[in-house]
């Protein structure tokens, strides 16, 4: 029997189902980046773990620095909720809200402006930005090869390298 478009049937044993090349994530169909397996692959859930570690580290640094704002205050609970939401649904506005909250917390922090925590935050904020962007487009249950992630890793390294050099120049000038 011919398909609705008039195309002939596939040969026996060959599936012509376009869904076989796609994975379902929720209600939407997302293409999978095919991988060879083994140590050369990066699983989609690993990006969420990396994003969770970056969010946790960032919130630990920022909340410890803001002495006047308690962790269980409205602002602290809001930041925790936005951080958890960033890890669970990185394709929304939540990563942006988290990064804006980090900036506000950093402005509220007492102590030296150019401390060691700022150097760590520069790397972690860029990591949140890049990992959330990748986790938003790579499905949770997919695999991709390291070569597909290489451009993002290079962009991250350049962004962190430049920002850390500017930070070191500011520390030297101060």
Tens-digit pLDDT profile for residues 103-161: 888 887 776 777 888 889 999 999 999 999 999 998 888 888 888 888 999 999 999 99
**Per the domain annotation, does 114 fall within a domain?**
yes
Number of domains, the chain: 1
In terms of residue numbers, what domain contains 93?
39-173
Examine residue 33 and state whether it is found in any structural domain, yes or no: no
pLDDT per residue over 40-59, tens digit each?
Answer: 788 889 999 999 999 999 99
pTM (predicted TM-score): 0.73
Is 53 among the domain residues? yes
How many Å apart are CA 10 and CA 46, to the nearest integer?
A: 37
Asked if residue 45 belongs to a domain, the reply is: yes
Give the burial string for 73-103 (b: 16+ CB within 10 Å, else e): eebbeebeebbbbbbeebeeebbebbbebbe
- Please report whether residue 20 resides in a domain: no
User: Which band of pLDDT confidence, cut at 50, 70 and 90, is reported for residue 24?
Assistant: very low
Q: Say if residue 22's pLDDT is above 50.
A: no
Question: For position 4, what pLDDT does the model report?
Answer: 55
- Domain assignment present for residue 47? The answer is yes
CB 101 within 8 A of CB 74: no
In a domain, 1, yes or no: no
Radius of gyration of the chain (CA): 22
The dihedral built from the CA positions of residue 15, 16, 21 and 25, taken in this order, carries a sign that is negative
Is 28 a member of any domain?
Answer: no
| Interval 56-112: pLDDT, tens | 999 998 888 677 676 778 888 899 999 999 999 999 999 999 999 998 888 877 767
């Amino acid at each position: 029997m011919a398909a609705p478009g008039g195309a002939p049937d596939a040969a026996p044993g060959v599936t012509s189902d376009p869904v076989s090349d796609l994975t379902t994530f929720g209600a939407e169909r997302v293409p999978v980046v095919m991988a060879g397996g083994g140590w050369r692959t990066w699983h989609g859930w690993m990006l969420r773990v990396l994003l969770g570690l970056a969010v946790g580290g960032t919130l630990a640094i920022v909340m410890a620095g803001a002495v006047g704002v308690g962790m269980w205050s409205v602002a602290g609970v809001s930041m925790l909720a936005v951080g958890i939401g960033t890890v669970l649904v990185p394709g929304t506005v939540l990563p942006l809200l988290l990064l804006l909250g980090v900036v506000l917390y950093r402005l509220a922090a007492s102590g030296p402006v150019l401390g060691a925590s700022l150097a760590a935050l520069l790397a972690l904020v860029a990591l949140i930005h890049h990992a959330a962007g990748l986790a938003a487009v790579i499905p949770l249950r997919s695999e991709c090869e390291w070569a597909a992630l290489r451009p993002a890793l290079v962009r991250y390294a350049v962004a962190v390298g430049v920002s850390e050099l500017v930070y070191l120049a500011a520390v030297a000038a101060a």
